[in-house]
Amino acid sequence: MTILEKIIEAKHRRIGIQKLSNSFTDHYISSNTNIDKPRFFSHLNNCSSDFKIIAEMKKASPSAGVIVNDYKPEELALEYETKGYTNLSILTEEDHFLGAISHIAKVRKVSDLPILQKDFIVDEWQIYQAKTIGVDCILLISEILTKEEINSFIATAKTLELDVLLEFHDEIEIEKIKDLELDYIGINNRNLRTLKTDINHCLSIRDKYHNELNNFKIIAESGFKSKMELENYKSNGIEMFLIGESILKEKL
């Protein structure tokens, strides 16, 4: 069983238990007139920095192990804001990234920066949960969802005024996502099944499937270790990035 398969199996198990005691859907289906409008990508687009970076917060990852021993999300969020980052990505997956839903609430108490909840969404219930805890954008991973699930989850997110970042790595996923009604997609340089990273993967996929991906704004994800790598991407027409480990280790 791959790491990705283990994560998904654990997520299904956790969601099954949580759904027994929490029904978010009833609340939003009956009263969805006062929902805040999405702001995640508009905020990122208005960033005046050289690179438009979604700064990721996480305690650990399957590829790196524990990254931050004394992980305090609220303090890290303030540090990121001081450094000029305009958008946050917060890992909430419990078993392999040592995240927690409570980390969102801790950050919300000290920062108003737009938040992408980085998790493995496999059930519509999680999208309602995301809105309830105050995130601005959800992540969908193409490799773990069917085309029907992706379309359904996007529709639910739009109803709740949530932005959506759809991510993929494998080029076989292109056929699944090329006609989606989305503005932004993420191309992950890291293969979630093998955890191997190729820093040029995003550019290669964009160039190979230029016609299929031409309608999307692309966010390059994972593996960046230097500003030179970011400059290379920017000179090739990609200026949006999702970066975690290098920021956490202060390599960028």
pLDDT, tens digit, 9 for 90 and up, residues 150-203: 999 999 999 999 999 999 999 999 999 999 999 999 999 999 999 999 999 999
CA-CA-CA-CA dihedral for 20, 166, 157, 96, to nearest 10: 30
CA dist 19 and 8 (Å) reads: 16
User: Domain containing 69 — which CATH number?
Assistant: 3.20.20.70
**Number of domains into which the chain is organized:** 1
* Domain ranges, residue 204: 3-248
State the pTM of this model.
0.93
Q: Which residues, at least 6 apart from 114, have a Cβ–Cβ distance to it below 8 Å?
A: 39, 40, 43, 44, 86, 87, 88, 136, 137
User: Is the pLDDT at 91 greater than 90, yes or no?
Assistant: yes
- Note the Cα 116 to chain centre separation in Å: 6
CA dist 188 and 202 (Å) reads: 7
pLDDT for res 179: 93
User: Is the pLDDT at 136 greater than 60, yes or no?
Assistant: yes
Name the token pair of 118: 């980085």
pLDDT for res 35: 61
pLDDT for res 252: 61
Which amino acid does the sequence have at 165? Answer: L
Average pLDDT over residues 76-92: 96
Average pLDDT over residues 122-129: 95
pLDDT in tens, 203-230: 999 999 999 999 999 999 999 999 999 9
**What confidence category does residue 23 fall into, taking pLDDT thresholds of 50, 70 and 90?**
low
CA dist 164 and 178 (Å) reads: 15
Q: Across the chain, what does the average pLDDT equal?
A: 92
Contact between 91 and 6 under an 8 Å Cβ cutoff? The reply is no
List C-alpha distances in Å: 133 to 68, 127, 137, 163: 24, 10, 11, 15
Task: Tell which phi-psi region holds residue 161, choosing left (phi > 0), alpha (psi between -120 and 50) or beta.
Answer: left
pLDDT for res 33: 45
pLDDT for res 34: 52
Q: Which residues, at least 6 apart from 46, have a Cβ–Cβ distance to it below 8 Å?
A: 86
Name the token pair of 151: 């379309």
Active site (catalytic) residues:
56, 58, 118, 167, 188, 221-222
- Note the Cα 74 to chain centre separation in Å: 19
Question: Which residue has 């790598």 as its token pair?
Answer: 229
**What confidence category does residue 24 fall into, taking pLDDT thresholds of 50, 70 and 90?**
low
